[in-house]
Structure 1
Amino acid sequence: MAELAGERVLSIQSHVVFGYVGGKAAVFPLQCLGYDVDVINTVNFSNHSGYGRFGGTKSTAAELEAIFKSMEMNELLVPQRLLTGYIPGAEGLSAVAGLVRRIKAEKPNLIYLLDPVLGDSGRLYVAADVIPIYRNLLPLSTIISPNWFEVETLTQTQLNSIPSLQTALKLLHEQYQVPNVVISSIPLKPWLLSALPQSIQPPPDSDYLLCISSSSSTDPISPTSQVHTQCVPLISGYFSGVGDLFSALLLAHYIPHHTSPPDHPEETPLSYAASYALTKTHAVLERTNEFACTLPEEERQSTDDEKDHAEPLRQTRRMRGRELRLIQSQDIIRGDGIGEPRRMECWKGFWDLH
């Protein structure tokens, strides 16, 4: 990563006082990898909402605009890379979208990773009126990192078969002009499992998650995109900030001029970045889970809505014990001791599947 040392990232996402989600999960890893990071908070909360109780404020569009204006007047908006995450309301997102357009107009080569934080597991975290604004932002991005539900929401395509996945990726690449798409933490449904390349088939009767990357092709006679994929073992339990960490690592390791090595001739800049982001994120989760397993029993209680409601601190203790062990994982973030990354494998014949 030495060749990227000194590059500047502008991070626009949520902030919590305690724990590691949003900017708290993204900024430190970027700094560990040599990036200067300028931070704009879209919310200022005590802790993430998974604790059940939290306090703080959301940044208004006027507050965001005031920050943007002062930075522009002082010539402080000088990023080579931009990362946007959780932005709760349409007015705030519109203000951010305006800033992105201004920066892109001055810096056409800006590397912009858009994490369209909309929701998960069929539930929106934000107001529905942010969805069309995100769709208008998509063409400005270099990389997007939606989860499964967010892909379905943005493309209005229910993902329940290989043809529906192909349709969604085509829409993102062709209609919305997104060059690079990464979808992580995908449950391995039977229709996906049966279509995977043999080289990455997980052991039978095991729980794994899938990551898919798709990079637009510049060759007019080639398929719509180059698709790579890889599996990682599922670590059971509730963790927050994982997507924020993954997106930060993805942005950090994305090198547009990366050339594929002889032993991985089909590697793309995106699949290279996704390999490192996937490997490091999973290693941080393993370390976090190992720590959580050492905690007293009262801090390892399973989720029980009735008991949590009756005793709110029961939920608090459980959440607190599963905060990402980022500070304790600096070696992992920097790449020490992780060995070769879990490489994203080229999914040959993906576009020929039916």
Structure 2
Amino acid sequence: MAIVGLKTGGRILSIQSHVAYGYVGGKAAVFPLQCLGYDVDVVNTVNFSNHSGYGRFGGSRASAEELSNIFNIMLQNELLVPDRLLTGYVPGAEATAAVTDLAKRLRERKPDLIYLLDPVLGDSGRLYVSPDVIPIYQSALPLATIITPNWFEVEVLTGITITDTQSLHKAIRMLHETYHVPHVVVSSIPLKPWLKDLLPSHLRPPSDSSDSSYLACITSSRDGNLVHAQCFPCLPGYFSGVGDLFSALVIGHFPGSNSQAKETATGGETPLSRAVSHALSKTHAMLVLTHEAALALPEEERLVTDEELDAREPMRKIRRMRGRELRLIQGQDIIRGTQPVEYRELQPWTDFWSA
């Protein structure tokens, strides 16, 4: 099914990491947002040669003072006028506090600001940031319109280890009720047996598939206690920048006014579920394109991960990482919606809270 692009426009302030080579952070977010018709103002929180997955990388991290100076001069020049705010990776507690302070000021000046907070804290049980960043992110949650944490980040933000239905309910309720987040999007959730059993039959992957080859995406909106979900096949190998691309597409497709929200909500969809369906569909299509391109590379650029060999021969890992950079330019028609892709529509999970 072809995805029809939304009529978009306006100005987005993007505050996240930057790399000279490859597509993570702002490099994975800004171009897609421009493809969707937005003017994007960019503040880089780090300026690196490439992402850290390469093993070797270098560059600089913006200090809180440097970030605040940029924000203040933009304010003085009346250049800080976004309709939407997107924040991603920020290094260190002081720099994160500076970004949070800006979000407060923007929210005060523009109460209807759409703010997507991607709390980049870690993944797969490992923190990417210092623990003193966590309470600052928690203080920023009430400012957000949408948050897009992964499974591990939900656990870190709520302090709840999610192992069953009750803990999943408790964690999402805490984000809504304690931290007052209107819209929560949890993407790339491992389909563990208890979660598969919890899913309604119409949301489960095909019976002949391996659970480990599928991931789940869940959205929850505070108003109406509306929950939607979808399972999707995961691709082999490691990709970087996927969460950054996904979050950009979510804010890019989220309606900017009540009238737009009514226009885009049809059938069982809500403004949030529709935006996430677009983001999920396009992100997955981009990963398929990237995976196919990587398979066509010379053998030395697609060697499997071997930590011992990678340590002895750093270029082995670097070639593999280089071959799996997102094909954003080659896939720009996917982003714009002019190339047909499978529409992975999130479906209502009507009995979620009673399960």
Cα deviation 1:83-131 (Å, max 9, x = unaligned): 0000010000111111111111000000000000000011000111010
Name the CA distance, whole Å, in 1 between partners of 2:301 and 2:342: 34
User: What pairs up with 1:8-47 in 2 under 5 angstroms?
Assistant: 8-47=11-50
Q: Flag structure 1 segments of 5+ consecutive residues without an equivalent.
A: 219-224
User: What pairs up with 1:123-142 in 2 under 5 angstroms?
Assistant: 123-142=126-145
Distance verdict in 2 for CA 1:93–1:261, change over 3 Å: closer
The number of residues matched between the two structures is 345
- CA apart distance, 1:308: 0.6
Name the residue aligned to 1:274: 276
The residue identity in structure 1 corresponding to 2:228 is H
Name the residue aligned to 2:234: 234
Does the CA contact (< 8 Å) of 2:281 and 2:341 recur in 1?
Answer: no
Name the CA distance, whole Å, in 2 between partners of 1:63 and 1:10: 17
- CA apart distance, 1:326: 0.2
Name the residue aligned to 1:244: 244
- CA apart distance, 1:195: 1.4
The residue identity in structure 2 corresponding to 1:216 is R
Q: What is the TM-score of this pair, normalised by structure 1?
A: 0.95
- 1:205 equivalenced with 2:209 (yes/no): yes
SS of the aligned residue for 2:262 comes to coil
Name the residue aligned to 1:221: none
Does the CA contact (< 8 Å) of 2:282 and 2:341 recur in 1?
Answer: no
Q: Flag structure 2 segments of 5+ consecutive residues without an equivalent.
A: none
User: What pairs up with 1:343-354 in 2 under 5 angstroms?
Assistant: 343-353=345-355
Distance verdict in 2 for CA 1:339–1:124, change over 3 Å: closer
Distance verdict in 2 for CA 1:217–1:2, change over 3 Å: closer
2:80 alignment partner, one of 77, 80, 97: 77
Does the CA contact (< 8 Å) of 1:90 and 1:129 recur in 2?
Answer: yes
User: What pairs up with 1:325-344 in 2 under 5 angstroms?
Assistant: 325-339=327-341, 341-344=343-346
Name the CA distance, whole Å, in 1 between partners of 2:194 and 2:247: 27
Does the CA contact (< 8 Å) of 2:15 and 2:88 recur in 1?
Answer: yes
Does the CA contact (< 8 Å) of 1:229 and 1:346 recur in 2?
Answer: yes
1:196 alignment partner, one of 194, 199, 208: 199
Cα deviation 1:130-157 (Å, max 9, x = unaligned): 1000000000000000000000000000
2:8 alignment partner, one of 4, 9, 16: 4
Name the residue aligned to 1:304: 306
Name the CA distance, whole Å, in 2 between partners of 1:129 and 1:2: 39
SS of the aligned residue for 1:137 comes to helix
Question: Whose relative contact order is higher, 1 or 2, with alpha carbons under 8 Å and at least 6 apart?
Answer: 2
Name the CA distance, whole Å, in 2 between partners of 1:283 and 1:2: 18
- CA apart distance, 1:260: 6.8
- CA apart distance, 1:2: 5.6
- CA apart distance, 1:201: 1.5
Does the CA contact (< 8 Å) of 1:230 and 1:343 recur in 2?
Answer: yes
User: What pairs up with 1:48-63 in 2 under 5 angstroms?
Assistant: 48-63=51-66
- CA apart distance, 1:339: 4.8
Q: What is the RMSD computed on CA atoms of the aligned residues? A: 1.3
- CA apart distance, 1:232: 0.9
Does the CA contact (< 8 Å) of 2:287 and 2:326 recur in 1?
Answer: yes
The residue identity in structure 1 corresponding to 2:217 is C
2:167 alignment partner, one of 154, 164, 171: 164
Name the CA distance, whole Å, in 1 between partners of 2:268 and 2:113: 25
Structure 1 ranges of 4+ moved more than 6 A: none
Name the CA distance, whole Å, in 2 between partners of 1:119 and 1:90: 15
The residue identity in structure 2 corresponding to 1:231 is C
Does the CA contact (< 8 Å) of 1:260 and 1:268 recur in 2?
Answer: no
Name the CA distance, whole Å, in 2 between partners of 1:55 and 1:338: 39
- CA apart distance, 1:265: 2.6
The residue identity in structure 2 corresponding to 1:179 is P
- CA apart distance, 1:51: 0.1
User: What pairs up with 1:146-161 in 2 under 5 angstroms?
Assistant: 146-161=149-164
1:215 alignment partner, one of 214, 221, 245: 221
Name the CA distance, whole Å, in 2 between partners of 1:316 and 1:131: 31
Name the CA distance, whole Å, in 2 between partners of 1:286 and 1:276: 16
Name the residue aligned to 1:222: none
Give aligned-pair identity as a percent.
Answer: 62
Does the CA contact (< 8 Å) of 1:260 and 1:266 recur in 2?
Answer: no
